Amino acid sequence: MQNVLFYVILAVLGLVLGSFLNVVICRLPRKESLAFPASHCASCGHKLSPVDLIPVISWSFLRGKCRYCGEKISLRYPLIELLTAALFVLTATRAGNRWELVISLVTVLFLIPIAAIDFQHYIIPNKILLTLLPVAVASAVLQIVSPEQVSLFYDGAGAFRPLLGAVAASGILFLIALLGYYLNGRDEVMGMGDIKLLVLLGALCGAKKILLVLLCAVLLAGAASIVMLVTRKKGRKDKIAFGPYIILSFYVIVYWL
Domains of the chain, residue spans: 1-82, 95-257
pLDDT of 161 reads: 56
- Whether 243 and 194 have beta carbons less than 8 Å apart is answered as yes
- Whether 115 and 43 have beta carbons less than 8 Å apart is answered as no
Pairwise CA distance, residues 256 & 7, whole Å = 20
Pairwise CA distance, residues 162 & 144, whole Å = 9
| pLDDT tens, residue by residue, 5-57 | 999 999 999 999 999 999 999 999 988 888 888 888 877 878 888 888 899 99
| pLDDT tens, residue by residue, 111-169 | 999 999 999 999 999 999 999 888 887 777 776 676 665 556 655 555 455 566 666 66
Nearest in space to 214 (alpha carbons), one of 175, 160, 162, 169: 169
Nearest in space to 165 (alpha carbons), one of 191, 189, 138, 200: 200
At 236, the amino acid letter reads: R
Least confident of 61-65, 124-128, 171-175: 171-175
Global pTM reads 0.87
DSSP assigned state of 91:
H
Pairwise CA distance, residues 105 & 95, whole Å = 10
Q: If you count them, how many residues does the chain have? A: 257
Q: Cα torsion for 144, 195, 252, 90, to the nearest 10°?
A: 70
